[in-house]
Amino acid sequence: MKVVNLKQAILQAWKERWSDYQWAINIKRNFPKGATWDYLNLAEALLEQAMIGPSPNPLILSYLKYAISSQMVSYSSVLTAISKFDDFSRELCVKSLLEIMDMFSHRLSCHGKAEECIGLCRALLGVAVWLLQGCAYYSERLREHGEVAGEASLRACVDRLEGLLLSTKNRALIHIARLEEHASWANVEQAVIRVSDNLNSLANPTLRSKLEDCVALVKSIPVMLAVHSDPPQQTSFPSVHALIMLEGTMNLTGETQPLVEQLMMIKRMQQIPSPLFVLEIWKACFTGLIESPEGTEELKWTAFTFLKIPQVLLRLKKYPQGEKDFTEDVNIAFEYLLKLTPLLDKADQRCNCDCISLLLQECSKLGLLSEPNTANLIAKRAVDREHAPRLKTAENANIQPNPGLILRAEPTVTNILKTVDADHSKSPEGLLGVLGHMLSGKSLDLLLAAAAATGKLKSFARKFIKLNEFPKHISGEGSKPASVRALLFDISFLMLCHVVQTYGSEVILSDPSPSGETPFFETWLQTCMPEDGKILNPDHPCFRPEPGKVENLVALLNNSSEMKLVQMKWHEICLSTPAAILEVLNAWENGVLTVESVQQKITDNIKGKVCSMAICAVAWLVAHVRMLGLDEREKPQTMIRQLTTPLYGENTLQFYNERVVIMSSILEHMCADVFQQTGMVLRPPMEGVEPVPYRNLLATREPIRTALSRQFAAVLQRGWVDSQALHLFESLLHMGGVFWFTNNLVKELLKETRQERAKRAVELLYSIFCLDTPQITLTLLGHILPNLLTDSGHWHSLADPPGKALAKLSVWCALSSYSSHNKGQASARQRKRQREDIEDYNSLFPLDDTQPSKLMRLLSSNEDDPVILSSPGDRSMSSSLSASQLHTVNMRDPLNRVLANLFLLVSSILGSKTAGPHTQFVQSFMEECVECLEQGSRGSILQFMPFTMVAELVKLPALAKPKVVLAITDLSLPLGRRVAAKAIAAL
């Protein structure tokens, strides 16, 4: 069979005037079978021959039209051929090319291989450049010569360009081509500049506005994923409120950046407008201020509101805000806040000052508000305050307001850190004066709260640990230096114990000591100090020092009229105290010691000079009492009571009264649990003083499941979470464990069958889950969702609206965990809780593909064809290949494995032949993923989605949209672009 040159074949057909179908028959006869016409560039060869003269050759054009209609050539090859014609002065040729485009431009699609689809993307980009160049050419000619004929050609080009770009599908395909070929996109940008330059010279307003629209559409292509749906019409956002409540109540010492990022994540996911977002933060701060228990908690909230939140807003200001100015958003937020007069009046009453004006001044200092706006807002509030109810009592007039004190305490913290840093080995007395001043009244709590809110608490604690080590060094000393040394040890020890009880031991233990040797206080804290959730063994070797030292101490306590100070090694004394107390208890039990000698001499000696000894004694006694039966507890508890009662004698060391106040508070915290078990109290309750805040929140004899349901129902009814509820949820999370807690709260969510309530429940649950997002997310995505999705008995519970709500909650948790996890940000509070064993996830999702995982066995039990999914080893690699594998994400990480396996499960549900509420859930889950995504967020949770899933997703009507396909595929990868092009081209 002879093979002829394609160009000769076309010329022969023209010479012999073959009709189009004759031409098609003959050309197919003379060319080998199996050769594709695109491969031979048929469309380009036909156009080249048709466009030789000043006007197109109608016969050869009829051959091309026949080839298009009979699908001998692909749309992409025709578009590519058209875009190679560059002589726009031959208007008849251009006109006929545009007519050829009209044959198929309204139904551009491709159902072939991925390469062909990418070819269509490139062709569309090429033809867009060609049309833009045509528009530029004719508009330039119009400007220079004012030809009417040129206007007709310009209108023809503009109409085709508009028709091409109005289709979201075409824009999506061009978007893929832009990422595929950066050089071609540069041509687009140049053509757009040329068109824009000539826009103003167009006399025809209709034509000009059409061309402006086309230019805007071209410019919108790179950012087509950034456009979100309209934000929800609501004014309160419980997630923001609850996150602020959680941070203010439980995490004042937390770093600012993780909080800022979590807030930004909520703002993005829920599309909250900036002014309402800032307003919600302030509302939560004022609510926290009003409802915080008196004492330390109130100071913590004050520091959080007046010192930490302005810093948070300052960091939020650095995030891109689009067109808007963040200072204007802050101003609008304050305008809204001023309308909440009852809230502000109540806060002013509680703090005994004008809170708003103090806050406004702080924000103004940080550049968050302009001076005119600040003055205007202060004046507005002053007018409102004239009508506010005041507590004008004499004692109230003398109380200094906490916000003012906190703001003054902040610079003091820096000064104290400098003072303590100086060398005091020569004259430690000067330092003692500073420390004594810190102990008076509520100075210590104020300073600690200010240090915690500004991130200086760790260095504060580190300095006092260093100070606590200082008295170890003794050289021949008299009674004065000995008492100074004892006081330095005692005050620093008391302060550190107070810091640990108020802010958690992580403040001290999270940063190990820089020197090789572990300081005394760190050792004592880890082994001897009782804390929430930490049970000590009273027979631990740490409580059993050398017998000789213990005997000396017992003799000293029993024989001396008072404790001697000279040459005393206080660190050793503190470590020997528990063993000495055990000796004293045994002697008392066996009648060797009388009640009087124990109560009057020994306990007085322990607490008389150095309060640290009493703390060490009670710390051990608490551990000891826990091990005793109720009938054996009387004597140790009497001893605890005796040690907590201050000694009112003359011969005490300096600052005794101040030290005793702190000692009593420390001991009360230590003993609260033990005394509660026997229904006894350490001291009679004083009026108006809450003993230990947020304690005994759970009702006695009530199952924790009931307590959880009741508390969640109350929170849902009210619409926001208060600090008391957060503490209750935290204790339930400790008691029941992560799985129990998450599973039961998900059950509560699935009961909500009304859309509004289900939506509110999601916002509240997301914020409750912030108590331990990483662990709760692993449990939710790794255990609870797979159980619900693989057991057909549970499918009914996934129907909308609760199913859609659970999908939303799952995506929010996954995104939050994944973003903070990648930055390695676990809060101290979350680090403290027992980590779940990584092995749990290894057995659920094995690393190698040889052993079938639990998840795959679950899947196979649901499938019509169990062989396909019986184990990962049996599946073709391509069915589970995802972007994360190409980005080489560490799959030993539990969160990555859980996400990868959840998407495998979702993929298998989409591919299965059974539809139901679980398929609806999957659709909602994917819709929410798309809704919450940021533009170009490579490395989001969707990178774990198998590429094969895209083709399944576009079968669902709600997800069969070009933008959705662009959003769910990783367009930074060539394979991702091919998958997206194939899916979009087939829509």
Give residue for tokens 């208060």: 722
In this predicted structure, the answer to whether residue 646 has a pLDDT above a threshold of 50 is yes
487 near 495, Cβ under 8 Å?
A: no
Structure confidence at residue 935 (pLDDT): 44
- Share of residues in the chain with pLDDT > 90 (%): 23
First and final C-alpha spacing in the chain: 41
pLDDT band of residue 107 (cuts 50, 70, 90) is confident
Structure confidence at residue 53 (pLDDT): 81
Concatenate the DSSP letters of all residues of 376-431 into one string.
HHHHHHHHHHTTS-----HHHHHSPPHHHHHHHHHHHHHHHHHHHHS--SS-THHH
Q: pLDDT tens for residues 245-274?
A: 999 988 888 889 989 998 998 888 888 888
- Kindly report which listed range (154-163, 623-632, 919-928) carries the lowest average pLDDT score: 623-632
Structure confidence at residue 831 (pLDDT): 45
628 near 577, Cβ under 8 Å?
A: no
Among 304-308, 486-490, 835-839, name the most confident range.
304-308
Q: Pick 814 or 323 by higher pLDDT.
A: 814
Sorted by sequence, the CB contacts under 8 Å of residue 206 that are 6+ apart come out as: none
CA angle 807, 812, 955 (to 5 degrees): 45
Cα separations in angstroms, 609 against 491, 570, 660: 11, 12, 10
In this predicted structure, the answer to whether residue 7 has a pLDDT above a threshold of 90 is no
Cα–Cα dist 430/933, whole Å: 59
The mean pLDDT value for 235-239 works out to 85
Structure confidence at residue 260 (pLDDT): 92
Cα–Cα dist 720/124, whole Å: 51
Concatenate the DSSP letters of all residues of 566-612 into one string.
TT--HHHHHHHHHHHHHHHHHHHHTTSS-HHIIIIIIHHHHHHS-HH
pLDDT band of residue 847 (cuts 50, 70, 90) is very low
In this predicted structure, the answer to whether residue 712 has a pLDDT above a threshold of 90 is yes
Q: Is 534 helix (H, G, I), strand (E, B) or coil?
A: strand
Q: Which of 648, 651, 627, 462 is nearest to 564 (CA)?
A: 651
pLDDT band of residue 802 (cuts 50, 70, 90) is very high
Q: Which of 280, 283, 260, 282 is nearest to 272 (CA)?
A: 280
Q: Pick 593 or 383 by higher pLDDT.
A: 383
Which pTM does this prediction carry? 0.83
DSSP state at residue 227: P
Give residue for tokens 């893929």: 176
Concatenate the DSSP letters of all residues of 498-532 into one string.
HHHHHH-THHHHSS--SSSSPPHHHHHHHHH--BT
The mean pLDDT value for 834-845 works out to 49
Sorted by sequence, the CB contacts under 8 Å of residue 979 that are 6+ apart come out as: 114, 947, 950, 951, 969
Q: Pick 658 or 171 by higher pLDDT.
A: 171
- Kindly report which listed range (308-322, 413-427, 469-483) carries the lowest average pLDDT score: 469-483
Determine the angle formed by the axes of helices 274-291 and 296-303, rounding to 10 degrees.
160
- Kindly report which listed range (659-673, 733-747, 799-813, 830-844) carries the lowest average pLDDT score: 830-844
Q: Which of 149, 284, 264, 134 is nearest to 198 (CA)?
A: 134
In this predicted structure, the answer to whether residue 839 has a pLDDT above a threshold of 50 is no
Cα–Cα dist 334/340, whole Å: 10
pLDDT band of residue 59 (cuts 50, 70, 90) is confident
Sorted by sequence, the CB contacts under 8 Å of residue 272 that are 6+ apart come out as: 231, 237, 240, 266, 280
Structure confidence at residue 200 (pLDDT): 80
Q: Which of 317, 401, 394 is nearest to 356 (CA)?
A: 401
Q: Pick 346 or 470 by higher pLDDT.
A: 346
pLDDT band of residue 678 (cuts 50, 70, 90) is low
pLDDT band of residue 784 (cuts 50, 70, 90) is very high
Structure confidence at residue 862 (pLDDT): 40
**3-state helix, strand and coil shares in percent for the chain, rounded to the nearest 5:** 70, 0, 30
Q: Pick 799 or 646 by higher pLDDT.
A: 799
Q: pLDDT tens for residues 282-327?
A: 999 999 999 988 888 889 999 999 999 999 999 998 887 766 788 9
Q: Provide the CB-side half-sphere exposure for 120 (13 A, CA).
A: 29
Q: Which of 689, 252, 674 is nearest to 502 (CA)?
A: 252
- Share of residues in the chain with pLDDT > 70 (%): 85
Q: Which of 325, 234, 343, 223 is nearest to 283 (CA)?
A: 343
Structure confidence at residue 125 (pLDDT): 93
pLDDT, mean over the chain = 81
Q: Label each residue of 880-942 as H, E or C.
A: HCEHHHHCCCCCCCHHHHHHHHHHHHHHHHHHCCCCCHHHHHHHHHHHHHHHHCCCCCCCCHH
Backbone phi, psi, residue 838, to 5°: -60, -25
In one letter, which amino acid is 380? K
pLDDT band of residue 424 (cuts 50, 70, 90) is low
Token output for 756: 């509004």
Backbone phi, psi, residue 534, to 5°: -120, 115
As beta bridge partners, residue 946 has: 882
Structure confidence at residue 22 (pLDDT): 80
Structure confidence at residue 588 (pLDDT): 85
Q: pLDDT tens for residues 851-881?
A: 344 444 444 444 333 333 333 333 333 566 7
